Chains A and B, each alone.
Chain A
Amino acid sequence: MNPIGTEPYIVLSMVLFLMGALGVLMRRNAILLFMSVELMLNSANLALVAFAREWGQVNGHVFVFFVMTVAAAEVAIGLALIVNIFRERQSINIDELRQMQG
């Protein structure tokens, strides 16, 4: 019925996760940083769903739900922070945010 095994999904999930990690490391725009984090969360979700099918357990799907909820909360808070920072400094380049360095 479904001839594709779990491994290709895991490999794809890895590729997407590493791309997200790269984005976090390379981009300096805070919003893009957040989008990269979303990409990483999504790739983790993909792996969870793939493993859920492998084991025939719905628990993986439930976990994806929790990840989505946490992601939504994180995005809401993060974007609010970004808006505040932009109001104050007119920039969201994270290299310029250095006031917390001792």
Chain B
Amino acid sequence: MEWLFLVVSFVAVLAAGMMLTRQNAVHSALFLIVNFGCVAFLYLMLDAPFLAMVQVTVYTGAIMVLFLFVIMLLGAEATTDTSGRMRWLGFAGTAVAIILLLIFAFPLASDMLANETVEQPDSRSQARVINAIPGGDVDAFTIRDLGESMTLEGRVSGSVLFDSSGDSLQDLRFDDVVYEYGRDATQRYTVLPAGEYNVIAGVELAGFVTSPLLAEAVTMTADSAHSVVFYENVEGIVDVVLMEDDVSAPAVGKMRLTVFNAVTDKQVSLIDIGQYTARRSLCEDDSCSSLIPHRVLIEQLPAGQQTSLQLDEGSYNLAFIDQDHTVLRTLADYDAERGLIETRVLVREPGVPGSQPSYRAAVFNAIATPAFGSPEAVGQVLFIEYVLPVMLVGVLLLVALIGVIVLARPDALAQAERRRINRRRRVNRPLVSVISQQTGSDVLSGDYMAKLTGGSDDSAVE
């Protein structure tokens, strides 16, 4: 990697130097294109692939072609620099530039030589809350300075306190509520700096988090993602679990389906039942000797755990079954879109006690935060945070466009002015001049006038 950087930067500097020293402007422009290409390569190495592409298309493509075009148009390839005037400025400039370079680059260079360890760029991890409680909201908090009574072991670089309130409970009264999540709320991952965190979750009672259900010190490594899942167990008590998610892009043409089993008294399997309509039980008879043909996707997932699988693109009929082959929930015509990352949490619906329990497969789409420097990431910042500057730059471009049009047509303007004057003159030309042009004699001279008027008089007499 380092040799690559050295080679590319050497080529970039070399191309810049050649650009400065060539007498032929076309050669200079071509060397500048090489330099821009090298810079685009460096953008790639700096995790900015989108900018690299923009650099190639806009700079080396559009702008440099414009330069070359103008050079060719003017035929100004070889304008000499031998003006002699202010020649000393160049040498003075060189000296000042080198001095400046030494001043600026020396601390950096000495720093680089001093510590060989290369600092890693700031690493990021992600966390989110999944609320699969049938009723009640979940509030998520970020508390920077956690009270000592609640801190766990380990360095507290930042703490995430996820708190839940049940049906009868009110919203929390902590100051810094970050998010509130209703039922089945889908949350974007919150980006956190990688580090150690204490995740504390509990049921809130009268403004206090009583008896944390989850108090876990987690090391969130770079590029990892965690979910805190709230669900209700069979006894109707809120339970919570912290899981590590896989948010890497699924294989090409596939989607990733993650299933979390929040039905605490059952082991859940996910099967693909194909064309068959799901029945209450998949067993043809009591002995379960002949099952409807199916394909098992997930087998015997214990409660409070998750597993993920990749599905090919297409439409499926899926069913969640328990260990007794009873169908808990069917997902008919389930569309597997490519690139989708979906989490399904299977929960029991709160029902009348004693009645047949019903189940629900709540959907939580993992909207993965776009990769750093990707078009999506840049676009999000560009068009959400920087809308006004984008507009202003658009106006600037428009003004530049109009300015170029005006600048490029001074002759046309002059021509239009001339045409306007000409037109007025043509209209004001007296009739006599037209006659004189046609007859070839001077109309305004006395003879002709007299003849003209006299002739008419004669004819009138006759």
Contact = CB atoms under 8 A, between A and B. Distances in A.
A5 B70 contact: no
B94 interface: yes
Contacts of A84: 407-408, 410
A12 B12 contact: yes
Interface in B51-77: 51, 54-55, 58-59, 62-63, 66-67, 70-71, 73-74, 76
Nearest to B222: A1
A83 B111 contact: no
Interface residues of A, number: 72
A4 B45 CA distance: 9
Interface in A23-74: 23, 25-29, 31-32, 34-36, 38-39, 42, 45-46, 49-50, 52-56, 58-59, 61-62, 64-66, 68-74
Interface string B388-417: 010001001101110110011010000000
B444 to A, nearest CB: 43
B9 A56 contact: no
Contacts of B122: 54-56
A58 B5 contact: no
Nearest to B399: A73
Given A2-B1, A8-B112, A50-B46, A16 B63 contact: no
Most buried by A among B47, B73, B79, B111: B79
Contacts of A102: none
Contacts of A5: 112, 118-119
A88 B413 CA distance: 15
Contacts of B397: 69, 72-73
A75 B120 CA distance: 37
15 contacts: A3-B2, A3-B118, A7-B109, A9-B42, A10-B108, A31-B76, A49-B42, A58-B372, A62-B386, A73-B397, A73-B400, A76-B400, A82-B74, A84-B410, A92-B79
Interface of B: 1-2, 5, 9, 12-13, 16-17, 19-20, 25, 28-29, 32, 35-36, 39, 42-43, 45-48, 50-51, 54-55, 58-59, 62-63, 66-67, 70-71, 73-74, 76, 79-81, 83, 85-86, 89-90, 92-94, 97-98, 100-101, 104-105, 108-109, 111-112, 118-124, 372-373, 377-378, 380-382, 385-386, 389, 393, 396-397, 399-401, 403-404, 407-408, 410
- In order of increasing CB-CB distance, the 4 nearest A-B pairs are A25-B93, A73-B400, A26-B90, A80-B407
Interface of A: 1-12, 14-16, 18-23, 25-29, 31-32, 34-36, 38-39, 42, 45-46, 49-50, 52-56, 58-59, 61-62, 64-66, 68-77, 79-84, 86, 91-93, 95-96
